[in-house]
Amino acid sequence: MTIFQADPGRPLDLRAPRLQGRRILVTGAASGIGAAVAELFASEGACVALADCQPLASLPPGDTISLSMDIRDEASVARGVAESVARFGGIDGVVNAAGVANTDLLADLAPRAWREVIDINLTGTFLVCQACEPHLRRCANATIVNLSSGQGLQPFKRRGAYAASKAGVISLTKTLALEWAPIRVNTICPGAVDTPMVRGGYSAEVLRDEVAPRYALQRIGQPLEIAHAALYLSSRESSFVTGIALAVDGGRSFH
């Protein structure tokens, strides 16, 4: 079966692993969505560099490496990218899944806490993209997937810093898609997902009785559901998709 591609000389083989031969850097890979992305991508044939400032409990099967990376620090990012390139011979995909939350009201938010959220969620995403850009330029079908949030589309109270940072990721992504084409750059905007970050902010009862009813599907998401969206945006199946903010949020935002 052949599907039309921008490169008609390379028809898509639907029997092959969807990321066969791709070399992909995943940040925030120690847990949550990042860990699910790394595991799924490795199972689909990608060489995966799992980057995090926290130690990884284990590596998924396949051609994978662990990188210690603080995405707030340019030197740390540069070292991690260089190590990934040395191991795999290049980088042709990035998934920026690292992030941090904050639930303070803006009137009570300390400037230091504001800077931490912006530095990790927005500036860190930019630093990783920028460090990878020269390597992505050398590859056909290069992709970047940045994790924003449904909060970046439709914020709540007590999420001011987080929502601002994630809205910034959406705008950053659209600008990168314009400036860096043919590298494809897209954003995923998850709703509440069953991750350590979400579990740390809500009790099980609040998730069931207060959070889930906000969603048309009446439940929170699972990390693998977000990983599948990242898989689509990192594969040749999405070869004509760039600059989008894809809500994977169970029907909360309906933007």
Task: Report how far residue 128's alpha carbon sits from residue 29's, in angstroms, rounded to the nearest whole number.
Answer: 14
For the question of residue 162 being annotated catalytic, the response is: yes
DSSP 55: P
Both tokens assigned to 24: 């992909």
Task: Report how far residue 131's alpha carbon sits from residue 187's, in angstroms, rounded to the nearest whole number.
Answer: 18
Closest residue by Cα to residue 174 from 112, 244, 116: 244
- Active-site residue among 162, 202, 215, 232? 162
- The contacts of residue 83 (CB under 8 Å, 6+ apart) are 49, 65, 67
| Beta-ladder partners of 95 | 26, 145
Active site residues: 162
